[in-house]
Amino acid sequence: MKMREIAEGIYEVILHDKEKEVGEMRVHIVKGKPGKRSLMVDTGFGSQESLEDMEEALAALDIPYKDLDIFLTHKHHDHCGLASTFAKKGAKIFMNPEEERHSYDCLYMQMGEESQKEQKEVLKNVGISEEWTPKLWKRFMELNEWMAKQREPWVYEIQKYPYVALTEGETFSYGDYDFWVISLRGHTYGQRGLYDAKHRIAFTADQVMEGITPIVGTTHANEHLLGLYFQSLSWMKRELGDCLIIPGHGEPIEHVAPVIDQIVYSYLKKMDQVKDAVVKDETPKTVWQTTKLVYGIKEIPEDGEDFIVMKSMISKTFSCLEYLYEQELVQRDYRDGRLYYGKM
Ligand SMILES: [Zn+2]
């Protein structure tokens, strides 16, 4: 277990999803005063290794589950993977209920009828169905079946957990810190972070990372996620420019402004590619057709993890297309259950 104190009373535990190099995740613990409650920001992957590391960290800091609050920034598998386990052990969990507004998402898996039904709708919208794209459809269904057969939950699967819904303007106080809940829309619709104005420290989940462009993954039309993301980034630049920014992945960031500029630049570049792909001829394209063009996808990945990566490319392309449509740079049509984007 790798733990270090990154600010007074704030500890960082680095976890790894051993199967993939993308899987590095940092969970943070704010130690409470003696006999008082402590805070964990996110939980890490739903794996035995992560659980052992986190239990070791909690024991080293002498924090029992009954005195532990867990703030979930957003409902992705690397952040909530252990939430159900910790809830059973007695921790109290907090999350924005907006994170559950749909049961199917680009990056996490949920079993159950509801999610499977929604998956079909979502896939249809982006141009994937049994009839139109039989091979790709089959892979989605095979993955569902494979997951249903697993005795242990897959690392991408999030088990249900009880939580207390975050409320507007709520503060969380631990040790010498008073954190405000801040809205960080973009990476997901309801992502939330924490900000201590006096100590100039903010937990900002997956909104910004150094050297990585976070995925803004759209699931349904009209979510406006990229627009909300750009708004959030400009707010962060203005209000949190002098803060120590603690992301969920990678090192803490001392100067966030150039990191934000880099992310915006990279999105604008991607947006250009997406627009070029859509307007290169007269034929309107589905999200899936555009994704294939932009990322040069020729083969459907056999490997489950690679498949998830491809799935997130679809969600990212969807976000770009929706933003271009909102900016009136491309046209959008809805025909036979499919969204089409084309020349104005
Ligand atoms: Zn993450």
pLDDT at 154 over 90: no
Q: What's the pLDDT score for residue 243? A: 98
Q: From the CA of 206, how far away is ligand 1's center (Å)? A: 5
Q: From the CA of 334, how far away is ligand 1's center (Å)? A: 32
For residue 266, give the 3-state DSSP assignment. helix
Q: What's the pLDDT score for residue 159? A: 86
Q: From the CA of 342, how far away is ligand 1's center (Å)? A: 32
Helices (H), 199-279: 225-239, 256-279
What distance in Å separates the CA atoms of residue 261 and residue 317, rounded to the nearest whole number?
A: 20
Q: From the CA of 24, how far away is ligand 1's center (Å)? A: 8
What distance in Å separates the CA atoms of residue 11 and residue 57, rounded to the nearest whole number?
A: 9
Chain segment 17-28, per-residue pLDDT in tens:
766 555 789 999
Chain segment 180-195, per-residue pLDDT in tens:
999 999 999 999 999 9
Chain segment 308-333, per-residue pLDDT in tens:
889 999 999 999 999 999 999 999 99
Q: From the CA of 195, how far away is ligand 1's center (Å)? A: 18
Chain segment 206-238, per-residue pLDDT in tens:
999 999 999 999 999 999 999 999 999 999 999
Burial class (CB in 10 A: 0-12, 13-18, 19+), 107: buried
Q: What's the pLDDT score for residue 107? A: 59
pLDDT at 111 over 80: no
Report which of residues 117 and 269 the model is more confident about: 269
Nearest to 325 by CA among 308, 342, 303, 312: 342
Q: From the CA of 25, how far away is ligand 1's center (Å)? A: 7
The answer to whether residues 1 and 53 touch, using CB atoms and an 8 Å cutoff, is yes
Q: From the CA of 335, how far away is ligand 1's center (Å)? A: 34
Q: Residue written as tokens 């809805």?
A: 334
pLDDT at 108 over 70: no
What distance in Å separates the CA atoms of residue 127 and residue 134, rounded to the nearest whole number?
A: 11
Q: From the CA of 291, how far away is ligand 1's center (Å)? A: 22
Mean residue pLDDT across the chain: 93
What distance in Å separates the CA atoms of residue 106 and residue 111, rounded to the nearest whole number?
A: 14
